[in-house]
């Protein structure tokens, strides 16, 4: 199961599904290659200061995952390509 009510759902290029948990001020990634269980989720950022509320999440042209927080964006996940 998911870790709670969420918002801002976005998929990444490595089979990850990112979402925001408002109650915990946390950006979370679930690896969709595994069952929907807590041990297959990773909390990437958890901070009421950095993520007071996320209106939505998106990926940019370099496949990085971002969250929109008020009038600015916060990078959630950065991928490196070699």
**Residue 3: which region, alpha, beta or left (left: phi > 0; alpha: psi -120 to 50)?**
alpha
Q: What is the reported pLDDT for 5?
A: 82
pLDDT at 72 over 90: yes
Query: Can you give the residue ranges of every domain in the chain?
Result: 7-77
Q: What is the pLDDT of residues 25-62, one digit of tens each?
A: 999 999 999 999 989 999 999 999 999 999 999 999 99
**Minimal CA–CA distance to 14: which of 27, 26, 1, 32?**
32
Q: What is the reported pLDDT for 43?
A: 95
pLDDT tier at 80 (50, 70, 90 boundaries)? confident
Q: State both tokens at 38.
A: 């807590």
Q: What is the reported pLDDT for 2?
A: 58
Q: What is the reported pLDDT for 1?
A: 53
């Amino acid at each position: 199961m998911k870790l709670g009510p969420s918002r801002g759902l976005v998929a990444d290029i490595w089979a990850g599904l990112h979402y925001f948990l408002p109650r915990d001020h946390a950006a979370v990634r679930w690896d969709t290659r595994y069952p929907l269980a807590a041990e297959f989720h990773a909390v990437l950022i958890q901070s009421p200061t950095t993520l007071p509320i996320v209106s939505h999440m998106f990926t940019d042209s370099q496949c990085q995952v971002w969250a929109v927080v008020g009038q600015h964006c916060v990078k959630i996940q950065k991928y490196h390509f070699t």
